[in-house]
Amino acid sequence: SATVPAGIAAPTALANIRSNDFVNGIAATAANSDVSIVSGLGAGMALTPATGAISTSAATPPGVYTIVYQLCDKTTPTPNCATATDTITVIPTIDAVNDPALSVPATGGTVPNVVANDTVNGGTAAVIGTNVSAPTLVNNGGLTGLVINADGTLTVPNGTAPNVYNVDYQICYLPATTPTATCDTARVVITVTGAIAPNPESATVPAGIAAPTALAN
């Protein structure tokens, strides 16, 4: 059996499928045996008969592949073959990437989808609901009331104190059981800036007198 990450070419995912096989009590080799696949190869997988190696490619989807192969004796004129199984597990990969720093006023606001720059299986774009889950907050960085939305955006509430907040989120590969749950975390730095909102005012006073509170504020 062998385990390889998804999204890469692994020409020696399984170095030699006949490595523990025997022909007439002698270790099976290309000289005394022929090997072929009966069933179980996934997309982008291939057998090299001369070496017994099974390869995967970037196109091989995550999953557990039970491969049935046939080994035949080359040293006798009468065909003499047997079958056996081997397993290759292709593990999904996920890369949640730290996001560029974002700025939001103290009056609040929503920042763009933080999953937009994340990838799966060696470079495929992460798409919420298609190949990754909706993000979840791992750490709000002290930003009380921060909401992470199902579309990957973050909503900062009105009245948040100006500060720099280091926020961590997590996404997981979908489907979650292919073949095991795979998740990753990343950080987005949110700077909440102060907001000043002056309002116009007016006052009326008679001429020729001192009016120390003509305009109070």
Model confidence pLDDT, tens digit, residues 138-185: 999 999 999 999 999 999 999 999 999 999 999 999 988 777 789 999
198 has a pLDDT exceeding 70:
no
Positive or negative, the CA dihedral 169, 173, 175, 178 is negative
Q: What is the pTM for the complete model shown?
A: 0.76
Separation of alpha carbons 50 and 14, rounded Å: 13
Banded pLDDT at 197 (limits 50, 70, 90): low
- Whose structure tokens read 């597990």? 89
Separation of alpha carbons 10 and 19, rounded Å: 18
Banded pLDDT at 11 (limits 50, 70, 90): confident
Interacting residues of 193 by C-beta distance below 8 A, sequence separation 6+: 103, 104, 105, 106, 162
- The pair of structure tokens assigned to 61 is 């989807």
12 has a pLDDT exceeding 90:
no
pLDDT at 206: 80
Q: What is the mean pLDDT of residues 105-110?
A: 93
Banded pLDDT at 211 (limits 50, 70, 90): low
Give me the residues paired with residue 119 across strands: 95, 125
Work out the angle at residue 157's Cα, subtended by the Cα atoms of residues 153 and 162, and round it to the nearest 5 degrees.
105
- The pair of structure tokens assigned to 200 is 């116009």
Separation of alpha carbons 90 and 217, rounded Å: 69
- Which stretch of DSSP H or E encloses residue 36? strand 33-39
Give me the residues paired with residue 67 across strands: 86
pLDDT at 203: 67
* Span 76-104, pLDDT tens digits: 888 899 999 999 999 999 999 999 999 99
